[in-house]
Each structure stands twice: as C-alpha cells, then as structure tokens.
Homo-oligomer: A and B are copies of this chain.
Amino acid sequence: MNPSVPKISTFEVGEENTGFAQFFSGKSWLAPLTNNKDLNVPMFNVTFEPGCRNNWHSHSGGQILIAVGGVGYYQERGKKAVCMKPGDVVEIAAGKEHWHGAVPDSWFSHIAIQCNPQTNTNTWLEPVSNHDYTEALQ
C-alpha cells in the first residue's frame, strides 16, 4: 500500500511514476498488472492525483483505458472531453492524439492497455494547457 494515495480501487497502486513524470502535469503512480510478454497485452494501473493529467500524446498501436476508481477525463483532439467513472471503457484508435487524467477534485485510476505492443510507439506532445483543462470541465 502506498500511504500517500487514498484507496479508490481494489487494484495495485504501485510506485510513483517518475519515469514518465516529464509527460505528466502533477503526480501519478504506476503498477504493472501483467508479466507474460507472449500474451501481447501489457497492462498497468495508472493513478492520478486530483488535477493531474498527461500531455497530449498518441500510440501507434492504439490504447484501451478501463476506469477502476475515482473520476477522470479522456479527451481526443478536436472532441469534447468525456468523463470516466469506474466501469467505463475507452478505445483509442492508433495515432489519435488525446490526453487523460483526474478531475480537479478527485483522484482517478484507470487500467491502461498498450495495444499491438509488437510495433507500438508512443509520441508525446505538449502539455494540456490550463485553459483546455478548464474547458474540459464544462
């Protein structure tokens, strides 16, 4: 258990996500949930502190998000942000620019699945501006 993270789901929280911190506004935590590379479904639980979100980015193989705790947002470039609560699943097509993260007043956890890991690469872009983040709340 990580004493600095409240219990918002039954999934492991893991360690503070320092490896990707440069691509996140705020603190996040990362727990790998799978090990067997032959299954080709790398899966992590990602936990965001309130207000934390990742930069705009895309995955050449696509991604699936499964909300498991708290409340968050997913936004695809050019579309309205979608509120995510436990039980919600978002499918992100290959190459689509997007961001995800917590709402300002709640922690958020989602499982993230890296799709097509044999060839997938991630492209990290600019941070989500405070203006765009605030607009997502409307």
Enumerate chain A interface residues (CB-CB to B < 8 A): 9-12, 33-36, 38-41, 43, 61-64, 66, 85-87, 89, 91, 93-94, 111, 113, 115-116
Chain B's closest residue to A32 (CB) is B89
Q: Is the CB of B10 within 8 A of A115?
A: no
Selected A-B contacts with CB under 8 Å, 6 pairs:
A10-B86, A36-B62, A36-B93, A43-B89, A66-B111, A113-B113
In the assembled complex, the Cα of A85 lies from the Cα of B115 at a distance in Å of: 25
Chain B's closest residue to A34 (CB) is B91
In the assembled complex, the Cα of A38 lies from the Cα of B11 at a distance in Å of: 27
In the assembled complex, the Cα of A89 lies from the Cα of B34 at a distance in Å of: 8
Residues of B with C-beta under 8 A to A9: 87
Top 6 nearest A-B pairs by Cβ distance? A10-B87, A10-B86, A39-B115, A39-B62, A11-B87, A36-B91
Residues of B with C-beta under 8 A to A36: 62, 91, 93
Q: Is the CB of A87 within 8 A of B12?
A: yes
